[in-house]
Each structure stands twice: as C-alpha cells, then as structure tokens.
Amino acid sequence: MTGNRAIAYMGPKKLEIQNLDFPKLVDPRGNKCDHGVIIKLVTTNICGSDQHIYRGRFPAPSGMILGHENTGEVVEVGRDVLFIKKGDLVSVPFNVACGRCRNCREQHTEVCETTNPEVSCGAYGFNLGGWQGGQADYMMVPYADFQLLKFPDKAQAMAKIKDLTLLSDILPTGYHACVEARVGTGSTVYIAGAGPVGRCAAASARLLGASCIIVGDTNKERLALVKKAGYEVVDVSKKTPLPDQIEAILGKREVDCGVDCVGFEAHGHGPSAEDDPAAVLNALLEVVRAPAGIGAVGVYIAGDSQAKTKEAKQGFYDIEWGKQWVKSPSLTTGQCPVMKYNRGLMMAILWGRMDYLGEVMNVEVIPLEKAIEAYHVFDEGSPKKFVIDPHGSVRE
C-alpha cells in the first residue's frame, strides 16, 4: 500500500512534511472503525484556525497532523458503510460526529458527545479527540454514512471545486454566524474580520439578502480585496471610531446584525492598539442596534500562552455586558454544526447562486510541498485562501 505524506505540527512556527503509513480504519483509541472510510485528498485548505495552532496560541501536541477543511475521493470503505461507495467525491465536515448521541440527533454535531472523551466536541486536526487532520495524501473518516456529503456529479463538482472545498468549514461557519445574527432580507450587517471566514460571512450575508454588508479589519490588502468584490469596508486601525466609520457609510451609527470572525487574537481599535481578546465582542455590542443579534464564530480558548494578562490566558475576558445588557443582546458563539448547512450551500454553489464567491475568496491552489511556505505567507496577513492539492487533482 502507498505511503502518506502529511503536515505535522512540531511546535510554534515549526511544521514538517512527514511520511506516514497509509491510514487504517481505526480510531485514535485503537478501536476498529468499520463505519469509516479512507479518502484520497483532492483539496485540503489552510484555515485561520490552523494559524492559531501554528503560532502556538491554540494548545496542540507535537506531531499532530493538521488540516480540518478536507475534500476527497473515497478509496476504501469499511464493512458497515452502506451508502458511501468507493470512488465517491465527498466533503468532510470538520466536526467529528457520531450521528447517534443526543446532540447529533438534535443537529448539534459541533458538540458530539462521543467522539472526544474529554469534552463534547471532536474535530480533525485540533487537540480535540486525537483525530488526525487531512493536510495529507490520505485520511480516515469515521461514521462515513452520517458525516460525508457526497457530491452528486463528480465532473460537475470538480469544475467548481475551488468553491465546494469551502463547504468543509468556513462557508458553513460564515453562514451560521449570519443566521445566528439574524441576517435576512434588507438587513444591515457589520462583519468583524476580513480573513477567509469573514469573507465567507460576507458572501453568506449576500445570499441571505442583506442590503448593506460592512467588513472591518486592520489588514489593508484584505480590505481592498473585499471592497473590490463589492462590499463596504472599515479600517479599525484608523483613529476614527468604528461607529463614526459605520455612520459615514450607512447614515446611522448602528447596524441590524453583527458577526465576529476574529476571536481571541483580536486587537483593540485605533492606530496604536494592542492585543485585546474582548475588543471585537465589545465593538459588536456597541454597534448592533437593540435587540442585538450577534453570531460569534471566532475562536476563543483557555490556554493561550501568549495572552497579555493572566485572566486572558485562562480565557476570561472583559466584556461590557452590564453596559450593553439593556439592548437585549443575543450572542451565539462556538463551532458551526457544518452538517446543518453544507448540503444547502452545496446546491447554491452547483446551481450558480454563489458565483461571486471566487472574487472575494481569492483561492490559490498549491501542492503539498509548498504548504509550509504558505503557512508563513498566510501568517503575514496574505489576502489569499490557500488550498492544498496533494495529488495534482485540480486544474487551474
């Protein structure tokens, strides 16, 4: 059987391409996965969440294989798999979910109760249950009949693979944030963060019918990309306060809905602002009108060794809740239940309802050999979305 190249995390800013054994139908605790499959990766993306790990700010063990945004072709099928077949092209939700527990049955696959013995949350390529990631040639996926989204036509899917590869995480995540923020027809929305998740949120807000979509960031290249794609932008590194910048666009100092696509690595607002993990949440509480709907899909953790304060290292943040409570805010945070949205978004892509995705996402397809370099470039603030193509499957 063939080998398996994979991107391994070895410590902060240290990655290796390792040559591993071909994966087996076995879970991280050594149990047989007759309900699983082996897939040959067609695309596996570098995510902003991977950058948290890369920087050493999301705790992860040395040697962990990265990659939770995975799309591939099924090459081996377990004994108990009934509906997924060898040769199928599938999207892999980043949540590892059994489909059998109470939470999975209630469509909360982001908090599956069985796939991580330490907490109700399993994910590939994180320190969440020991499930190895898919920035590799091949990977094992358990509970295949439940988890995998099969593309109905392989040739049609490959023609739109740069968009469909986003279904494993960031497009459903951006969409979920907008849904939880109550974005709808005619809504005005402020999206914090112009990285790939923020850009997917902007595209999702357009699909949901928002009227004015404003994206904020400090990265001028990313803001320029978003502006060119037809969205409004604000630069939160400027001296001008955020409500003033929103008023200059909208004529009002508040929006209907707010989305957080930044998380704990946020900076405060202004030209000399330092790290402030509460900055985005406090800004959203300020600029979203009452009753305030906020979808916060940016990552927040306990265990950030590089946080500036003891409290922030432990995951305690200075949220202005008492000041903003009177606005009746609703704040939904946590990981996205990808399976709740991925099929609908797949159909929107296949039927041409999201053809504008490419312009705002700025995908660059790279071979596995260039992945470590791409991590460095992405870490420097590149406006690109890097998609790894281990086997040369994607035609430019």
Q: What range defines the domain where residue 291 resides?
A: 172-333
The number of domains in the chain is: 2
Please say whether the beta carbons of 314 and 327 come within 8 A: no
Residues 154 and 176 in one domain: no
Tens of pLDDT, residues 171-186: 999 999 999 999 999 9
Q: Would you place residue 273 in the very low, low, confident or very high pLDDT band (cuts 50, 70, 90)?
A: confident
pLDDT above 60 for 1: no
Helix (H) or strand (E) holding 44: strand 37-45
Report the 10 Å Cβ neighbour count for 33. 20
- From CA 363, how far away is CA 389, in angstroms rounded? 12
Phi, psi of 194 (to 5 degrees): -105, 20
Report the 10 Å Cβ neighbour count for 186. 10
Tens of pLDDT, residues 139-173: 999 999 999 999 999 999 999 999 999 999 999 99
- From CA 262, how far away is CA 248, in angstroms rounded? 23
What tokens does 306 get? 């590089």
Residues 161 and 265 in one domain: no
- Whether 238 maps to a domain, the answer reads yes
Residues 115 and 188 in one domain: no
Domain end among 286, 315, 333: 333
- From CA 131, how far away is CA 127, in angstroms rounded? 8
CATH number at residue 179: 3.40.50.720
Q: Which amino acid is at 343?
A: R
Domain end among 286, 304, 333: 333
Phi, psi of 189 (to 5 degrees): -140, 140
- From CA 170, how far away is CA 48, in angstroms rounded? 9
Residues 266 and 354 in one domain: no
Model pTM above 0.95: yes
Residues 326 and 344 in one domain: no
Lowest mean pLDDT among 181-195, 234-248, 321-335: 321-335
Please say whether the beta carbons of 189 and 213 come within 8 A: yes
Please say whether the beta carbons of 303 and 142 come within 8 A: no
CATH number at residue 383: 3.90.180.10
**Residue 78 Cα distances to 35, 89, 91, 101, 148, angstroms:** 5, 16, 18, 21, 14
- From CA 349, how far away is CA 240, in angstroms rounded? 38
Residues 205 and 316 in one domain: yes
Q: Which amino acid is at 336?
A: C
Q: What is the mean pLDDT of residues 379-387?
A: 96
Q: Which residues pair with 38 in a beta bridge?
A: 76, 140
Query: Helix (H, G, I), strand (E, B), or coil: what is residue 229?
Result: coil
Residues 149 and 186 in one domain: no
- From CA 78, how far away is CA 37, in angstroms rounded? 6
pLDDT above 90 for 275: no
Please say whether the dihedral angle defined by the alpha carbons of residues 193, 309, 287 and 296, taken in this order, is positive or negative.
Answer: positive
Q: Would you place residue 271 in the very low, low, confident or very high pLDDT band (cuts 50, 70, 90)?
A: confident
pLDDT at 396: 66
Query: Helix (H, G, I), strand (E, B), or coil: what is residue 303?
Result: coil
- Whether 393 maps to a domain, the answer reads no
Q: Which residues pair with 131 in a beta bridge?
A: none
Q: Which residues pair with 261 in a beta bridge?
A: none
What tokens does 3 get? 């080998």
Residues 241 and 182 in one domain: yes
- From CA 20, how far away is CA 4, in angstroms rounded? 5
- From CA 284, how far away is CA 61, in angstroms rounded? 34
**Residue 190 Cα distances to 84, 146, 283, angstroms:** 40, 35, 10
Please say whether the beta carbons of 76 and 24 come within 8 A: no
What tokens does 25 get? 């139908």
Q: Which amino acid is at 234?
A: V
Residues 183 and 301 in one domain: yes
Domain end among 312, 333, 354: 333
Q: What is the mean pLDDT of residues 105-119?
A: 97
- From CA 278, how far away is CA 332, in angstroms rounded? 15
